[in-house]
């Protein structure tokens, strides 16, 4: 993700967060049925933005790059540390995404699909470096 895309994502998240706070501050007994779902939807949107933009793009790009450079790197002392790092990344992503799935049931299907896609990419990269 380029610095400009990174900044755009952060600006978007900050804007949605600010809008959500504005809505949350107005929640009252007379409007909670209308305003609370807006806040929940905004939080879901922020979660999706974070996971899709920050995790998926960066991880998929990194994994693709590492797989593409395997022929070169496999001949160096870096192959084993890369394999170890991929296993560590896999464990961390599993924990993070499982936590996101558990904490945001309305996002469960999308998060599980994301986790499956990342698991596949990670497995491919790990298998490439394990050869």
Task: Please report, in tens digits, the pLDDT of each residue of the chain (131 residues total).
Answer: 567 776 777 677 777 778 877 888 888 889 888 888 887 777 777 766 666 665 565 567 778 888 888 888 888 888 888 888 888 877 777 776 677 667 666 667 777 777 788 788 888 888 888 87
115 touches 101 (CB < 8 A): yes
- Of 82, 87, 84, residue with least CA distance to 66: 82
- The pLDDT assigned to 111 comes to 72
Tell me which residue range forms the domain holding 87. 3-130
- The pLDDT assigned to 49 comes to 67
Structure tokens at 131: 């050869």
Contacts of 3 (CB under 8 A, 6+ apart): none
| pTM, rounded to two decimals | 0.55
Structure tokens at 130: 């394990």
- The pLDDT assigned to 118 comes to 79
- The pLDDT assigned to 74 comes to 83
Contacts of 91 (CB under 8 A, 6+ apart): none
- The pLDDT assigned to 103 comes to 67
- The pLDDT assigned to 2 comes to 67
Rounded-to-integer distance, Cα 126 and Cα 83, Å: 6
Structure tokens at 45: 């949107």
* Number of domains within the chain: 1
């Amino acid at each position: 993700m380029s610095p400009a895309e990174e900044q755009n994502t952060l600006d978007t998240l900050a804007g949605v967060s600010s809008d959500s706070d504005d809505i949350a501050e107005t929640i009252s007994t007379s409007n909670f049925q209308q305003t609370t779902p807006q806040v929940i939807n905004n939080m879901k949107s922020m979660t999706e933005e974070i996971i899709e933009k920050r995790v998926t793009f960066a991880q998929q790009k990194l994994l693709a790059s590492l797989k593409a450079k395997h022929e070169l790197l496999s001949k160096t002392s870096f192959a084993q540390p890369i394999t170890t790092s991929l296993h560590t990344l896999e464990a961390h992503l599993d924990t993070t995404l499982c936590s996101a799935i558990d904490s945001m049931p309305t996002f469960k299907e999308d998060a599980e699909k994301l986790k499956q896609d990342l698991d596949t990419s990670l497995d491919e990269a790990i298998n490439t470096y394990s050869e």
